[in-house]
């Protein structure tokens, strides 16, 4: 049962709900060189920031619309489909990078052509949040919240369309690069809207069994 998995995972992780998806969607669509890696973290991708920064030049097959993500916390390489809008943005970035830094070894580079570091990305992300009006009181958005938003949006779509969550969860877990589905179940316990949908579905199933 998902309740058991969610309960176990929630004991192991900090109970901080992902930043509201509606707020994150206010982030500007166009990015500077540093924040172009955030395009990989829109719904449809969901990679970790470390995976994006380590992406080699050959890691993005933009003609096929695929991303090859090297292992981070998981053991296996992941081949992820990219949204057309992400492909378009990355293709534009790649053309600019190739003109300025033809010998670059990583897909995302600094102004010197070296591998992009986390610090400048974080600074650019915070500037983007400020520009979208997300720097007010309360919890400040984190880069990792974009990955959370992808997972939560996927689960919400599955619940609303009547998908078998238990059957689908291994696919989402593998897509996110989780070692096991147990880590992915945490999202259900962390988001009130998902908890409500899960509880409502459980109640309907119990009514049918009576």
Q: What is the 3-state secondary structure (H, E, C) of 171-203?
A: HHHHHHCCCCHHHHHHHHHHCHHHHHHHHHHHH
pLDDT > 50? residue 12: no
pLDDT > 60? residue 26: no
Q: Which residues carry out catalysis? A: 48, 73, 144, 147, 178, 187
Structurally, how many domains does the chain consist of?
2
Same domain, 13 and 37: no
Residue 139 lies in a domain: no
pLDDT band for position 110 (50/70/90)? Answer: very high
Same domain, 51 and 112: yes
Same domain, 45 and 91: yes
Same domain, 40 and 80: yes
Residue 136 lies in a domain: no
Same domain, 151 and 195: yes
Measured CA to CA, the distance from residue 133 to residue 45 in angstroms comes to: 24
pLDDT band for position 34 (50/70/90)? Answer: very low
Residue 137 lies in a domain: no
pLDDT > 50? residue 73: yes
Percent of the chain with pLDDT over 70: 73
pLDDT band for position 61 (50/70/90)? Answer: very high
Residue 138 lies in a domain: no
The residues, any chain, with a CB within 8 Å of residue 65's CB and separated by 6 or more, are: 81, 82, 84, 87
Structural domain harbouring 49: 27-131
pLDDT > 70? residue 127: yes
pLDDT band for position 64 (50/70/90)? Answer: very high
């Amino acid at each position: 049962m998902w309740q058991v998995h969610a309960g176990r995972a929630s004991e192991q992780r900090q109970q901080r709900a992902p930043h509201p998806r509606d707020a994150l969607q206010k982030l500007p669509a166009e990015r500077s060189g540093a924040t172009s890696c955030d395009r990989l973290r829109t719904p449809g991708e969901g990679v970790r920031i470390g995976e994006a920064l380590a992406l080699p030049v050959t890691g993005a097959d933009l003609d096929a619309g695929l991303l090859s993500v090297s292992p981070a916390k998981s053991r296996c390489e992941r081949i992820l489909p990219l949204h057309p809008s992400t492909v378009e943005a990355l293709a534009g970035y790649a053309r600019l990078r190739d003109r300025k830094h033809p010998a670059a070894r990583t897909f995302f580079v600094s102004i010197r052509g070296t591998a992009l570091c986390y610090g400048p990305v974080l600074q650019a992300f915070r500037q983007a949040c400020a520009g979208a009006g997300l720097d007010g009181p309360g919890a400040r958005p984190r880069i990792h919240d974009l990955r959370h938003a992808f997972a939560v949006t996927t689960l919400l779509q599955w619940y609303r369309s009547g998908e078998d969550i238990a059957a689908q969860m291994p696919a989402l877990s593998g897509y996110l690069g989780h070692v096991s589905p147990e880590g992915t179940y945490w999202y259900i316990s962390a988001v009130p809207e998902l908890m409500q949908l899960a509880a409502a579905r459980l109640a309907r199933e119990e009514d049918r069994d009576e």
